Amino acid sequence: MIKLENVTYRYKKNNNVLNNINLTIKDKETIAIVGKNGSGKSTLGKLIAGIIKPKEGNIFIDNLNITDKNNKENIRKKMGIVFQNPDNQIIFNNLEDELSFALKDLSKEEIKKRIETSLQKVHLDKNINKDLYELSLGQKQRVVIAEVLAKQPKYLIFDEPTTMIDSSGKEKIYKIIEELKTEGYTIVYITNVAEEILLADRIIVLEEGKVAEEIEKKDLFTKFETLEKYDIKIPFLFELIQLLKKEGISINLENYSINEFVAKIKELINK
Ligand SMILES: Nc1ncnc2c1ncn2[C@@H]1O[C@H](COP(=O)(O)OP(=O)(O)O)[C@@H](O)[C@H]1O
Ligand SMILES: [Mg+2]
């Protein structure tokens, strides 16, 4: 469990960019953090990842206080973070060098096993071109995700991971996130993209460094107008459901996934 208690953060002597944040993230939960540019999303992600420390308040990761130096190593192992630009996160040109970099202390066999498993989880063939600079940004981002997974963290933080990636690459990453959710990772997904919000169980809206709204996924459909206030467009799927409703076709979804939508349409047609 991740717990933030009255967390405040500022860069150097500047004004607070996060103010009195209280937030609990349960194990195996996926939360989306949304909000306009500059609202403090990335700062919050870095605090949760333990990259920066709160100026006031406390952050606990599985009851370990992030500020206590004795917990540093323990917490670091639990956390994996993926940023926007894979080119900033990849150090080597060769896939195996890249993936084994953080695993040096392990046995050769263990490294091999971890690399194989994590490549499977991101749907990259292990015979993929080993020259990383020749891969697409979407593939590189999947390499970054594999690298993070190979360290076997419990918590995954994604900070706008698909911004630089084309639409087919985006879809592949969404599928991976869905699968990681099912596998039981606890996920913090920072985004401003309507479609990506649907990956989460709960949505936290930041505005000027404060939690402005907390929305459970089940309430999302009725609360989307609230989100439009924060510059978040209604997802296409929601628009479609609304339009169908006007035509007298009612579709009730629990998870708001495209697959679920297709299944419901099929059901209707077969009636
Ligand atoms: N390294 C930094 N030094 C000083 N100010 C920063 C730094 N990083 C971010 N900020 C400021 O903190 C605020 C929140 O930024 P950020 O957390 O990146 O927001 P978001 O990810 O929602 O766009 C912004 O006003 C930004 O200018
Ligand atoms: Mg950001």
d(CA 90, CA 261): 37
d(CA 100, CA 69): 27
Closest ligand (CA of 46): 1
Sign of CA dihedral 36, 38, 40, 42: positive
Nearest by Cα to 149 from 103, 210, 217 = 103
d(CA 28, CA 223): 24
Closest ligand (CA of 159): 2
Tokens of 210: 């404060």
List, as one string, the DSSP characters of 247-259.
Answer: TT-----SS--HH
Tokens of 137: 């940004």
Q: What is the whole-number distance in angstroms between the Cα of residue 56 and the centre of ligand 2?
A: 21
**Which residue's CA lies nearest to atom 10 of ligand 1?**
11
Tokens of 78: 């639990």
**Which residue's CA lies nearest to atom 7 of ligand 1?**
11
What are the residues whose beta carbons fall under 8 Å from the beta carbon of 69, sequence distance 6 or more?
Answer: none
**Which residue's CA lies nearest to atom 27 of ligand 1?**
38
124, 139 in Cβ contact below 8 A? yes
Q: What is the whole-number distance in angstroms between the Cα of residue 180 and the centre of ligand 1?
A: 28
What is the DSSP code (8-state) at residue 56?
Answer: E
Tokens of 216: 């459970």
Q: What is the whole-number distance in angstroms between the Cα of residue 179 and the centre of ligand 1?
A: 31
Residue 39 CB–ligand 1 contact under 6 Å: yes
d(CA 222, CA 213): 14
Taking CA atoms, 112 is separated from 69, 97, 163, in Å, by 32, 12, 31
222, 49 in Cβ contact below 8 A? no
Q: What is the whole-number distance in angstroms between the Cα of residue 17 and the centre of ligand 1?
A: 7
82, 158 in Cβ contact below 8 A? yes
d(CA 270, CA 263): 11
Closest ligand (CA of 34): 1
**Which residue's CA lies nearest to atom 26 of ligand 1?**
38
Q: What is the pLDDT of residue 229?
A: 87
Question: What is the biggest distance separating any 2 CA atoms in the chain, rounded to whole angstroms?
Answer: 65
Tokens 């939690």 belong to: 211
pLDDT by position in tens, the chain (length 271): 999 999 999 999 889 999 999 999 999 999 999 999 999 999 999 999 999 999 999 999 999 999 999 999 999 999 999 999 999 999 999 999 999 999 989 999 999 999 999 999 999 987 777 899 899 999 999 999 999 999 999 999 999 999 999 999 999 999 999 999 999 999 999 998 888 999 999 999 999 999 999 999 888 888 878 888 888 888 888 889 989 999 999 998 887 888 889 999 999 999 8
Q: What is the pLDDT of residue 13?
A: 84
Q: Closest ligand 1 atom to the C-alpha of 46?
A: 17
**Which residue's CA lies nearest to atom 4 of ligand 1?**
11
Ramachandran region, residue 234 (left: φ > 0; alpha: ψ -120 to 50; beta: rest): beta
Q: Closest ligand 1 atom to the C-alpha of 160?
A: 21
What structural domains and CATH numbers belong to the chain? 2-88+153-233 (3.40.50.300), 235-271 (no CATH)
d(CA 175, CA 241): 22
The 3-state DSSP class for residue 51 equals coil
Closest ligand (CA of 210): 1
Residue 40 CB–ligand 1 contact under 6 Å: yes
